[in-house]
Amino acid sequence: MKIFKFGGASVKDAEGVRNVLRVLKHEGFQKTLIIVSAMGKMTNAFENIVTAYYNKTNDLDQKIEFVRAFHLKIVDELSFTKNNAIFIEVEKLFGEMIGFLITNKSKDYNFIYDQIVGFGELLSTKIIGAYLNKNNIENYWIDVRAYIKTDSNYRDAHVNWEQTTANILNLDKNQLCITQGFISGCSSKNNVTTTLGREGSDYSAAIFAYCLSAKSITIWKDVEGVFNANPSSFENTQLLQQISYSEAIEMAFYGASVIHPKTLKPLENKNIPLYVRSFYNLEKKGTTVKKGPSLFPEIPCFILKEHQILISISALDFSFMVEYNLSDIFKILHNNKLKVNLIQNSALSFSVCIEDKFNNFRNLLVVLESKYKIHYTENVSLYTIRHASNEAVNKIEQKGKVLLKQATKGTVQVVIQ
């Protein structure tokens, strides 16, 4: 089997949906499974619904209507006949979502978040599946929540591989199948949705690929492939033609946003090649991630993480920062779900560059300041340079005030204010 994943940018409008059809016709769709993200920036729009609902602001209806109108416009532009079931399907999903908002009793933000944002993927797959069927590409729609099972760690759920594999192996492999990326089902609670983390659709595709021992995965993008830096923040970027799994894992780990970090390990374990290709230009080969040399061409790669917080922590009594303190600090960071992107330790102080995805930094400060001396700088940028050259590092150091720099073999990280 082969797996195709279409990201939000590739299905951001009716033209994008038509393009899915074109890709399938061009590439063939025998023994294929399609994973789709929410259309365009819809996950953000659903997040706005969650925020309005949670904070009880009076623009909730408006936020819902925005999302509804967005999808109805696309359905409209795809020229379905009036009696096509898709109109009812779309309204049914909105009915379900509003039903949840009305009956929900939970105050757990992360739980509510997961029950709502996944409607983006349910809608996109319903619409695209119906459009393909209408154009004689027969496919069947599955609810991924019945296949990928996870724990109840909302917004960053962990896969139960045993259950997931058993479910996925039951799929009919001979028919074109379409399903949702990003969302999953809670294994211990019926009808509860979980999500695999923002941008998690690549990971969903990898989960299916792994369980099905797929021949390949293709991630269809609105860019030509993986570049040595994000073209929206760097000039003169170059396409990487081939990347090894471990190099891609390193790049994703340091924050390259092209491929979701969890995606690669399952593929590496089964030696399944991953193609990143342009949705617009089907003649181009794009980037291949597979076993082989770490990088081709071998050039410096730049990864930027913005909105980081650099904290330096030292003991109140000027004692050394050693194992006991460090394990305490890590426990506090972990309890607050703060992601550590860089660590530097000296005898008297310990510095970490962290990312506050879940808005817990103030909580963290309260706890840390009760035990340690803290100095922090918010809103700094962390640059990572893989396959670094002096020239490449110099270029980054020009970008602002260097607060911290760390070099390991071939990888240089610089925190800049």
Per CB under 5 A, residues contacting Mg ion are 7-8, 37
Closer residue to ligand ASP in complex, CB, 67/415? 67
- 42-61 mask for ligand ASP (x: CB under 6 A)? -x------------------
- Residues in the chain, how many? 417
**Contacts with ligand ASP, 169-208, as mask; x by CB under 6 A:** ------------xx---------------xxxx-------
Say whether residue 139 binds ligand ASP (CB under 6 A): no
Comparing CB distances to ligand ASP, the nearer of 39 and 168 is 39
Instruction: Return the number of the residue (179 or 351) whose C-beta is nearest Mg ion.
Output: 179
Q: Give the residue from 152, 194, 155 showing the smallest Cα distance to 339.
A: 155
Integer angstrom CA distances of residue 15 from 46, 122, 280: 22, 19, 11
Q: List the one residue out of 123, 109, 120 whose CA is nearest residue 50.
A: 109
Rounded to whole angstroms, the Cα distance separating 70 from 356 reads 31
The footprint of ligand ASP on residues 308-337 (CB under 6 A) is none
- Is residue 144 within 8 A of residue 180, CB to CB? The reply is yes
Backbone phi, psi, residue 218, to 5°: -120, 125
CB environment 54-80: b (16+ within 10 A), e (fewer): eeeeeebeebbeebbebbeebbeebeb
Closest CB 279 distance from ligand ASP, rounded Å: 14
Work out what residue 250 binds among ligand ASP, Mg ion, none; the CB cut-off runs from 5 to 8 Å by kind.
none
From Mg ion, ligand ASP, none, interface partner of 225 (C-beta below 5 to 8 A by class) = none
Q: Tell whether residue 38 is a contact of ligand ASP (CB under 6 A).
A: yes
The closest of 363, 370, 374, 372 to 333, measured between CA atoms, is 363
- What, of ligand ASP, Mg ion, none, does residue 182 touch, CB below 5 to 8 Å by kind? ligand ASP
Taking CB atoms, the residue at the shortest distance from Mg ion is 8
Cα separation, 166 vs 211, in Å, equals 8
Q: Which residues contact ligand ASP by CB under 6 A?
A: 7-8, 37-38, 43, 120, 181-182, 198-201
